[in-house]
Amino acid sequence: MVRGDHHFTDSQSLFGRFTFDNASQNTPDLVPVDNILLQTASRYGTIQWVSVWTPKLLSTTRFGFARNYIGLNETMNVSYPKSAFFLNPQFPPEIQLSGYANFGPDTSNIQFFRQNNYEFQEALSYNSGSHSFRFGFDLQKLDPNIDGGPDNGGMFQWASLQSFLVDGPITRLGTALPGGTSQRSFRQTFYGLYFNDDWKMTSKLTWNLGLRYEPYTGPTEKYDRIPTVPNWLTATQYNLGGQFFTDPCNKCFAPRVGFAWDPRGNGKTAVRGGFGIFYAPLFIYTYNRDATRNAPFSGSIRQTITNADGTPGNFANSVADVLRIAPAFLTPQFVPGVTSPLMIQYHPNPSYDMKLNLTVEQQLAPSLSLSVAYIGARGIHLTRQTDVNSCYETEINGREGVIPCGTSSVPLPNPNIFQGQIIYTDAQSFYNGLQVLLKKRLSNNFQFQVSYSFSKIIDDATSGSGNTNYAYGNSSIPTDGASSQAWNPKADRGLSTLDQEHNFVINGIWRLPSPTGPKLVSSVLGGWQFSGIFTAASGTPFTTIISNSNVADNGSPGSSARMRRPDWLATQSFNSIVNARNPNQYFGLTNFVLPPPNIYGDLGRGTFIGPGFLNFDMNLAKSFPLKFREGSRVEFRADLFNLFNRANFAPPQNQVMNGNNGALIASAGTITAAAPPREVQFSLKMFF
């Protein structure tokens, strides 16, 4: 890091800073014929000019630039024969056999992300009597550049080792198609205007009043490599160029109001509250997957293939098969039974949160205070992922289901496309929480803090930023941001994956007093500091699902079909089948039933609660002063994590039955992972 400050006059000053950082990590694959190489690089620069125009008026002008790079690559550890590099000249294919670990590099791991962020800010502050005004604007230009990698080394899947050895039929072939590219250079601009007034109405009451206006543009691509689908129900082809979606926030005004009240005027009691609207823009992390994988600029397959003569495809004919089918995928014209677009709602709603809080804090002693707070939040127009071209839902024998579509009598919603996925902005979330905090500031060599929260989060889909959606139970597939029913966003309303009903934390620091006696004894035994943190928390919700879809609604295997839920026999309560400390069978299976064909299961989302969390971390530290330079010292630290070595289990396996035949899955309810065991770490640092 490099930093510089200069005062030209008493009222004019300049500040500048530049930081950079590089890092890399090389991790062997499960079968270590290859490594996965992660590389990161960051560059940050800031220049700030501060001007004091009058005793009441101050301005701050700031320009910033940031460049962040994240790269994932594959490196080979063994030599392959040249004939193996038949799809990609740098990488051999990945082999998948049922019952065996995957073998070979997965070129879908290869991807690069470089984002340039240019920002200009102008802030003014003006004080007038009991008012303190702040206003200004913020201009932010984001230039994310993505290379989704070749993904064309090939992924070949066989049903058995024997089938692989004799080059039997390929059950699944995955590869990017020749002629496409996943490189994109997006451009997006964000604006911010704000006004704020801190108004000291009386000696006991202060108001904070503000308003923000936060529009932003839909993303464009530098070379117009964007295919769009304004209305997928009627579309017959991709539109090329323009914005990937329209500007969603032209009316994004965000009012905020807060207050602080000292009812007694003695500084020992405080009542604080506030309400505000906070918009959540759709950044690159939301749309990068959908904007880089559509025809005609890119395309890939993950499917069973057949040869030109209709026989099952095999390894020997794979190159010819890929070249034969590529033109049907890499065309802007929709091809029935083939085209499967990945989209985001073309006219998205502005996503925002309404947040409310009310806190009462009371000083109990000179260094001890207690606060009790209510926190509420409501998320509106949040994102959820679901299927495109799913059959319309209807009532069948008093239950919600579908009549299979894709026939002449019951056509698909859009017969021009096959399947696909879309991100809608119609989900909601609800949060209510009680927070209690007892806090003792440092006095008499001791400080501590005790906090407890009791809360509940309900949502339609626990969606993060794009590829950070949360997983169901002990699953590596991040699908909890998706909806199980495309046409009913409220069908999955339930406990959020982020819900944690109880959370209790104690932390403290105790500076042990030095014993009296000889100098050697006091210097060795004195000056120690003990600190610790104890956490007890409820488990998070998980959802039991079936392994295949019992509903023939034309759902894509990569989306909602992963979240079909079973029926529930209500002869027992949900809690009664849970064995909290039994990792071999966390929950019983007798109450799960396969729904009738084409009927959605009646068991809700987030019905079961996973294992709780109990942990204690401790630290013991001491500094030894050094005489050769003022302020120099050696610090010894002993860190003990999970001191009592408690097994904090991960969520259990959540697939309970086969959707094809209703057979229970033997591994359902088993726990195969846990948080780290006890770890002890010693360190010695020198400061000079």
In terms of phi and psi (left: phi > 0; alpha: psi -120 to 50; beta: otherwise), the region of 163 is: alpha
Q: What is the mean pLDDT of the chain?
A: 91
In the prediction, which pLDDT does 121 show? 97
Question: pLDDT value at position 268?
Answer: 95
* Per-residue pLDDT band at 277 (split at 50, 70, 90): very high
pLDDT value for 558:
52
Q: Is 686 exposed, middle or buried (0-12, 13-18, 19+ CB in 10 A)?
A: exposed
**The token pair that represents 121 in the structure block:** 């800010």
CB-hemisphere CA count at 13 Å for 676?
Answer: 9
- Can you give the pLDDT at residue 467? 42
Quick count: other Cβ atoms within 10 Å of Cβ 337?
13
The predicted model gives 561-581 an average pLDDT of: 87
**For residues 169 and 321, what is the distance between their CA atoms, to the nearest angstrom?**
13
Q: State mean pLDDT over 210-239.
A: 96
Say if residues 652 and 579 touch (Cβ distance below 8 Å).
no
Does the bond joining 55 to the residue before it have cis omega, within 30 degrees of 0?
no
Residue 669 token pair: 């309810």
The CA-atom distances, in angstroms, between 283 and each of 33, 64, 224 are 36, 19, 18
Average pLDDT over residues 329-345: 91
Model confidence at 479, pLDDT cuts 50, 70, 90, reads: low
The residues with which 651 forms a beta bridge, in sequence order, are none
The Cα 520–Cα 616 span in angstroms is 33
pLDDT for 647: 95
Give the CB-side neighbour count of residue 344, counting CA atoms within 13 A. Answer: 28
User: In which band, very low, low, confident or very high, does the pLDDT at 62 lie, cut at 50, 70 and 90?
Assistant: very high
The pLDDT assigned to 308 comes to: 81
Contact (Cβ atoms closer than 8 angstroms) between residue 429 and residue 457: yes
- 107 alpha-carbon distance from chain centroid: 23
Token pair belonging to 586: 């966390």
Q: Which of 418, 386, 146 is nearest to 303 (CA)?
A: 418
Q: How confident is the model over 391-406, as a mean pLDDT?
A: 94
Dihedral sign computed on CA atoms, order 237, 238, 240, 243: positive
- pLDDT of 108: 76
Burial class for 630, CB neighbours closer than 10 Å (0-12, 13-18, 19+): exposed
How high is the pLDDT of residue 113? 92
More confident residue, 569 or 482: 569
Distance, in Å, from the CA atom of 66 to the CA atom of 47, rounded to the nearest integer, reads 12
Residue 98: other Cβ atoms inside 10 A: 12
Q: Which two tokens stand for residue 638?
A: 């002993």
SS3 call for 318: helix
b/e burial code for range 158-187 (CB count within 10 A of at least 16 → b): beeeebbeeeebbbebbbbbeebebbbebe
**pTM above the 0.75 mark?**
yes
pLDDT at 561: 52
Lowest-pLDDT range of 113-127, 294-308, 351-365, 430-444: 294-308
For residue 615, give Cα distances in angstroms to 439, 497, 506, 626, 672: 21, 21, 11, 36, 19
pLDDT band at 172 (very low <50, low <70, confident <90, very high): confident
Average pLDDT over every residue of 139-147? 95
How far is it, in rounded angstroms, from Cα 25 to Cα 216? 36
Q: Specify the pLDDT at position 150.
A: 66
**HSE on the CB side for 68, CA within 13 Å?**
7
pLDDT category at 123 given cuts 50, 70, 90 is very high
Q: What's the confidence (pLDDT) of residue 381?
A: 96
Given the structure tokens 């101050």, which residue do they identify? 58
Burial class (CB in 10 A: 0-12, 13-18, 19+), 459: buried
Measured CA angle at 445 (ends 439, 447), to 5 deg: 15
Residue pLDDT, tens place only, 69-79: 999 988 889 88
Query: Is pLDDT above 60 for 468?
Result: no
Residues 655 and 666: beta-carbon distance below 8 Å: no
Of 289-303, 344-358, 395-409, minimum mean pLDDT range: 289-303
Q: How confident is the model at residue 478 (pLDDT cuts 50, 70, 90)?
A: very low
